[in-house]
Structure 1
Amino acid sequence: MKLNTIKPGMGSTKPRRRVGRGIGSGLGKTCGRGHKGQKSRAGGFHKVGFEGGQMPLQRRLPKRGFVVYGKKQIQEIKLSSLLLIDQNEFDISVLREFNLVKSIDYPVKIIADTQACTRAIKLKDLAVTRGVKDMIEHAGGRVELTIEDVNGI
């Protein structure tokens, strides 16, 4: 194969439309634009969704929903990622030190995954799920919360 012999496959390209080349071409006289009207004119276009002055569909339908700007952002961490760290006491500053959380401004919640807790660890001021709390206490660890509602976060 040579570079000068490469060409597109059969049927993959079509010749360009040659308008205004006589009646026999099928695109003579009006060149496929029909007679009169905005679309037949040069430069005759309108914006997407324009319905000829009628109220467009996107403005007729009611708006629905809104974005809660004060929504709490919760950083979730898997229990297995805590167990990879050789430390027994965890709080948000320790998690930040090991780059497990991006910011200390948002609350952190420890969630369970398939791996069970194998050693006793102590969590301080970190929200946990019920399953994680049970796993940690079953392994001999402790969960100290100053946050009143564990599942509310």
Structure 2
Amino acid sequence: MGLHSLSPAEGSRKSRKRVGRGHGSGHGKTSGRGHKGAGSRSGAKDRTGFEGGQNPLQSRMRKLRGPNKKTSMPFERFRTATQAVNLDTLADRFESGADVTLEALQAKGLVRDNGVPVKVLGRGELQGPLTVHAHRFSSSAREAIESAGGTAVVVEA
């Protein structure tokens, strides 16, 4: 036995469909494309976003330009989301010297979604030191936490 005598396994290779070779072939005349309609024409038929003649989604949506509108294109695709927690709510819900972790924030109802990063914002004041764990801190929040004797710990997402 040599390489010259090898052949593919039985049934693993299929001969190509030869269309347009007469009625007797089963693929003559319209060559399996049916009569009329977009599917029978030459050129692109199944392009991305095609909805069979219905006005496609990207045409139905309004096109508001500019980066600053919530409804502007590209529809929320690159928008980043954060869950905001302010210093005054931390001061209300946690005792002085407490360790404010993401789990503790969730337990107190300040944070809902695990998959969305938490950002601490600087509204309000802290009476005592807190060790705050979050994904991001505003500069004023970090300053206020550290001036109260606490620490701001950045959690990697």
Q: 1:127 aligns with which of 89, 114, 136?
A: 136
TM-score (norm 2): 0.49
Counterpart residue number, 1:80: 88
| Runs of 5+ unmatched residues, structure 1 | 1-58, 149-153
Which amino acid in the other structure matches residue 79 of structure 1? L
TM-score (norm 1): 0.50
Instruction: Indicate the structure (1 or 2) with the bigger Cα radius of gyration.
Output: 1
SS at match of 1:133: helix
Partners of 1:75 and 1:109 within 8 A in 2: yes
Q: 1:110 aligns with which of 97, 103, 120?
A: 120
Identity of aligned residues (%): 18
Partners of 1:123 and 1:142 within 8 A in 2: yes
For this pair of structures, how many residues does the alignment match? 87
Deviations 1:62-102 (A, max 9, x none): 94432132432111111111111234111211111011111
| Runs of 5+ unmatched residues, structure 2 | 1-58, 66-72
Distance across 1 between alignment mates of 2:147 and 2:129? 9
Is 1:98 matched with 2:114? Answer: no
Distance across 2 between alignment mates of 1:66 and 1:127? 25
What's the RMSD between the two structures over aligned residues?
Answer: 2.4
Is 1:137 matched with 2:110? Answer: no
Deviating above 3 A after TM superposition, structure 1's stretches of 4 or more consecutive aligned residues are none
